[in-house]
Amino acid sequence: MKKEQIKIQPKQTFPLTIKRLGINGEGVGYFKKQVVFVPGALPGEEVVVEATKIHPKYAEARIKKIRIRSPHRIKPLCPVYAQCGGCQLQHLQYDQQLKEKRDIVIQALERHTKLDVSKLDIRETIGMENPWGYRNKSSFQVREKDGKVLAGLYGLNSHQLINIDQCAVQHAQTNEATTQVKKILEDLNIPIYHEKTRKGLVRTIVTRVGMQTGELQIVLITSKKELPKKDLIIQEIQKRLPNVKSIVQNINGEKTSLIFGEETHSLAGREFIQEVLGDLQFELSARTFFQLNPVQTVKLYNEVKQAAGLTGVEKVVDAYCGVGTIGLWLADKAGEVRGMDVIPESIEDAKKNAKRHGFTNTKYVPGKAEEILPKWVKKGWKPDVIVVDPPRTGLDHRLLQTILQVEAKKLIYVSCNPSTLAKDIQTLSKKYEVTYIQPVDMFPQTSHVECCALLIKK
Ligand SMILES: C[S@@+](CC[C@H](N)C(=O)[O-])C[C@H]1O[C@@H](n2cnc3c(N)ncnc32)[C@H](O)[C@@H]1O
């Protein structure tokens, strides 16, 4: 007779040995064969937990007591780490974070592919010398409490705003800019948006810095276009933040989790700031995607270049190209680079960026990768190297089918989500062999891991 599985009960307390880290950075253990996720617990730890949520296939629990601590457990740097949802691994030594991130990639491949993962070349994660202050952009929600303006991120699994004065992973200039703008809004008594009543005006402060150029952009996201004391706001920002080169207003009156609305107006200075990556210079307007960690981006793109091994004649696809950064990184060694992206402004920026650097072998088209690449292929254009850098959802099945059909010699998959990378590798393994996977730590202190995977046609 089949033995019935014992179900964990809500609020049940039980001991647990943490075996590994899950994809969201939680400790994972097994209680009577049931999977239990425990935020804050580390591999190797013996903990006592209390079940907080029961799901059909797993349970969530919180730590009540740590009986045996991991030797890698450290004191988190940030005072609001326990409440804020931004970082998940500040309590783990940095070199161990890098090891765990490689392990997260291995687990995803084991779960989602039929490959013999022990035989794959999965390299050590490339980390940062200084894994703090690396983010070039912050998007902090704004609230008002007792006459004070607060700005920060939502708490872990909640909609409660955590006020953050000094975010430890943000660049000092973005922290300073948010603090100053917060004070200006408070000093000038500018109405702050209230989420429940949907009254008030300022919803979000977005700050972006060019780390190489020092240029600063401030975006005020408001629920309506009318901005009282506009000239005073601009004057104060320029006085208190001399590096500001661009002040922009974006209007988002919708009830949405999206930060930006469709309408953007320049308030002062340029519409963009400049940033330099390696030998290339980019113009970044408020809404365009740009990698958040420029130090690691250079390492990631160099990995792509090395994997591509171009000789000057190859036809290269830069799918999901953003403002064209990866394609332009490769363009001096390629015969031709073609890129596409769904955001038309990004394609306009990609074209300008190519022109500024004198590249005449590039072509950028707005639209979906899964629609554009099949069209090019149908017209007889056959790439030698395909680079894909999709969002967390991975590759669309139509793009996967085109890649299998076109049989480029090399496929370089840049991924920010090991699960979708692994699922797509499984589909691609019909025609492609994984040569190696190189994890790169783009987001120290968080559970995110980026990969550059080289696949070669069998
Ligand atoms: C992870 S970003 C990569 C951007 C760029 N490669 C870089 O390194 O800055 C993903 C990009 O894919 C774009 N995107 C999302 N879905 C897409 C699709 N179906 N086809 C083409 N681009 C898409 C987004 O606009 C975004 O710019």
Q: Give tens-digit pLDDT for 354-401.
A: 999 999 999 999 999 999 999 999 999 999 999 999 999 999 999 999
CA 343–ligand 1 middle distance (angstroms): 8
- Which residues neighbour 249 within 8 Å (Cβ) at sequence distance 6 or greater? 219, 220, 221, 222, 225, 227, 264, 265, 267
Q: How confident is the prediction for the chain on average, in pLDDT? A: 95
- Closest atom of ligand 1 to CA, residue 289: 27
pLDDT reported for residue 107:
96
pLDDT at site 1: 46
Which of the four pLDDT bands, split at 50, 70 and 90, describes residue 85? Answer: confident
Q: Measure the CA–CA gap between 107 and 86, rounded to whole angstroms.
A: 23
Of ligand 1's listed atoms, the one at least distance from the Cα of 301 is 8
Q: Under 8 Å CB-to-CB from 99, ≥6 apart: which residues?
A: 125
Binding residues for S-adenosyl-L-methionine are 291, 320, 341, 389
Atom of ligand 1 nearest to the CA of 321: 6
Residue in 320, 342, 376, 451 to alter for ligand 1 test, most ligand atoms within 8 A of Cβ: 320
ipTM of this predicted complex? 0.99
Note the pLDDT of residue 255: 85
* The pLDDT value given to residue 198: 87
pTM: 0.93
> If you measure from the C-alpha of residue 225 to the centroid of ligand 1, how many angstroms do you get, rounded to a whole number?
29
Q: Ligand 1, closest atom to CA 290?
A: 9
Spell out where 106-241 has E strands: 137-145, 148-154, 161-163, 202-209, 216-222
CA distances from 281 to 284, 295, 358 (A): 10, 14, 12
DSSP 356-375: HTT--SEEEEES-HHHHHHH
Tens digit of each residue's pLDDT (9 = 90 or more) over 196-239: 888 999 999 999 999 999 999 999 999 999 999 999 999 999 99
| Over residues 120-144, mean pLDDT | 97
Measured in angstroms, how far is the CA atom of residue 341 from the centroid of ligand 1?
6
Asked if 355 and 379 count as a contact pair (C-beta separation under 8 A), the reply is: no
CA of residue 68 to ligand 1 center, whole Å: 43
The alpha carbon of 190 and the centre of ligand 1 are apart by a number of angstroms equal to: 36
338: β partners: 317, 363
Q: Probe ligand 1: pick from 325, 326, 341, 420, max atoms within 8 Å of CB?
A: 341
- Tell me the CA–centroid distance for residue 67 and ligand 1, in Å: 45
Of 321, 416, 451, 452, the catalytic one is 416
Ligand 1 binding residues, C-beta < 6 A: 289-291, 320-322, 325-326, 340-343, 346, 368-370, 389, 391, 396, 416
pLDDT tens string 315-349: 999 999 999 999 999 999 999 999 999 988 889 98
Task: Using most ligand atoms within 8 A of CB, pick from 342, 412, 442 the residue to mutate for ligand 1.
Answer: 342
Which atom of ligand 1 is nearest to 318's Cα? Answer: 6
Asked whether residue 252 carries a pLDDT value surpassing 90, the answer given is yes
> CB–CB of 161/154 below 8 Å?
yes
Whole-number Å distance between alpha carbons of 278 and 212: 10
Residue 276 scores a pLDDT above 60: yes
Q: Are 25 and 447 in contact (CB under 8 A)?
A: yes
Which domains are delineated in the chain? 13-68 (2.40.50.140), 117-127+293-457 (3.40.50.150), 137-277 (2.40.50.1070)
- How many Å apart are CA 222 and CA 253, to the nearest integer? 7
User: Cα separations (Å) of 75 from 93, 130, 161?
Assistant: 9, 17, 23
**CA-nearest residue, atom 12 of ligand 1:** 320
Residue 167 annotated as catalytic: no
In this structure, the number of other CB atoms found within 10 A of the CB of residue 399 comes to: 23
Tell me the percentage of the chain whose pLDDT exceeds 90: 89
